[in-house]
Structure 1
Amino acid sequence: MKRIERMIALTEILISHPNELLTLGFFADRFDTARSTISEDLVAIKESLTLTDKGNLDTISGAAGGVKYLPGIGREEAKDFLTSLAGNLNAGDRTLPGGFLYMSDILYNPIIARKLGLIFASVFRKRSPEAVITIETKGIPLALMTADALGVPAVVVQHGNKVTEGSSVSINYISGSSKRIQTMSLTRKALGTGKKVLIIDDFIKAGGTAKGLIDLMQEFDAKVVGLGILMEDTLWNNSRLVEDYLALLQLEIDSSKGRTFVKANDPKMM
């Protein structure tokens, strides 16, 4: 195998095994090549990933060491993507009665959801979350793609109890916008205790659901290291129940004209 062919194969293996530690011995055996040669190839691949803002190749030294591909996205690419996404959401008749915006086709598009997950992962990776938490249902694709990019489990909080989930913890919370008392629950086996968690959701108004998720995490002795939201409703900016969060998009509602306008925020990569 020529070097260029081997490097393409190496890159494909790394990208298809994100966040997984792969040893030099694994690659040397796979390509029947000296470890020193593989090491040189990986240095070149790492430089290429850095130049193209496609993530990073983390090197772990020692007998049990190796390399690990950490997926990511550059700030400029993320800004351009969010601007394009906002334009997509502004096109056509997406405004629904009650000031809602139709986004299901966006949220369940794997190409879009995957890139949004990369943005959230790039922002919050340094906080080392051990799980990504969301509440059913529309936040699930975002949380799953974020968890995949981070290499951690995705955990879904449910509305109410389900017998098939076993023993669970439930709390009541007040919806910040409607002021209604609602219930959310999470099975004890889904998360464990003492984890560092990242909360991801699709939309935030007054923040009642987000605050409920944060309160629920306290029942598991979990530390919330970040809160990522796809879209925030600017109408509630001065009366939101949570403050420390990152929203990728802003929604402005013109009730007099029955229209909505979406604009992109700066993802502020860390």
Structure 2
Amino acid sequence: MKSTRTERLIRMASRFLVAPSRQISLTGLSEQFQVSKTVISDDVAIIDRSMREEGIGGICVERGRTGGAFLRPRLSREYRRSFLGSIAETLSQDNRILPGMLIHYSDILFNPGFAGPLGYALASDFADREPDVVMTSEVKGIPLAVFTAHALGIPMAVCRFRNRPSDGPAVAVHYPSGRGEVRTMFMGTRFLSAGKKVLIIDDFMRGGSTAAGMLLVAREFKADVVGTGVFIAASEPARKAVSEYSALLRLERGNDGVPMVKVQD
């Protein structure tokens, strides 16, 4: 039974939103909704325009006999600043400030209502680099990396600080921590391979030693790191163990010396 155009547009848009970055066959849509590919192409153009106006991305179309379309995450500047601004305001509350220039943010990352959009924001920053896998370290970086990987339509690999028998064979990499200690990361051999394009995601960066450790893991596997995304980067110390990274938020001292969170431009 053929559906009305309104019904068809809603159903098509929902598929793009549920599975961003995953190609949907235009031929398959044409057959399912019993309309021509020309009509489907017009529908896709309407959905693309609506999503761009909403500030959440756009529909990319690959032409050809087996061509398809997918939603590429891309937050508008206004949407991004509004959402991240509300997160920064929440994290700057007095009851979240901890000793040692730290803040409490775990509840944000373990809440899908926040972690989902944050992962989408990071995905929109790196979608053009077309990574093959998202890499993070346990534990707090996992929710953020999961939603980033979902928005990019790719798998996730987790660096662990101890190897479990259930993880299978793993490669161990030693790296210096910010306190001068030598720590060890383990990466299962089933999760990463040579030539893969890796996007590193970290929840919090102070000196950058954890992100630097993940860079060493990728190098050990002969994988290519295409970017490093961070939820919150501290302004102190100014010199990090990694030279290039992109942060959503920045933790710095206010004029009164009290830590505060700001949106990273």
The bucket for the TM-score relative to the shorter chain is: over 0.9
Sequence identity percentage: 37
Aligned counterpart for 1:160 among listed residues 152, 159, 162? 162
Q: Name structure 1 gaps, 5 residues minimum.
A: none
| Match of residue 215 from structure 1 | 216
Q: Shift of residue 179 of structure 1?
A: 1.5
Q: Contact 2:73–2:127 (CA<8 Å) still a contact in 1?
A: no
Q: Contact 1:72–1:149 (CA<8 Å) still a contact in 2?
A: no
Residue 250 (1) aligns with residue 250 (2): yes
| Match of residue 101 from structure 1 | 103
Q: Shift of residue 14 of structure 1?
A: 2.1
Q: Name structure 2 gaps, 5 residues minimum.
A: none
Map 1:14-93; keep pairs closer than 5 Å.
14-93=16-95
| Match of residue 191 from structure 1 | 192
| Match of residue 183 from structure 2 | 182
Which contiguous aligned blocks of 4+ residues in structure 1 show a shift greater than 3 angstroms? none
Q: Shift of residue 42 of structure 1?
A: 1.4
Q: Shift of residue 92 of structure 1?
A: 3.8
Q: Shift of residue 116 of structure 1?
A: 1.0
| Match of residue 264 from structure 2 | 265
TM-score by length of 1: 0.92
- The whole-number CA distance in structure 2 between the counterparts of 1:145 and 1:118 is 7
- The whole-number CA distance in structure 1 between the counterparts of 2:232 and 2:19 is 30
Q: State the Cα deviation string for residues 21-66 of structure 1 (Å, max 9, x = none).
A: 2222211222122222222211211122222222111111111212
Q: Contact 1:204–1:231 (CA<8 Å) still a contact in 2?
A: yes
TM-score by length of 2: 0.93
Q: What is the SS of the residue equivalent to 1:63?
A: coil
RMSD: 1.6
| Match of residue 121 from structure 2 | 119
Aligned counterpart for 2:112 among listed residues 107, 110, 120? 110
Aligned AA (1:45): I
Q: Contact 1:226–1:245 (CA<8 Å) still a contact in 2?
A: yes
Q: Contact 1:28–1:34 (CA<8 Å) still a contact in 2?
A: yes
Q: What is the SS of the residue equivalent to 2:22?
A: coil
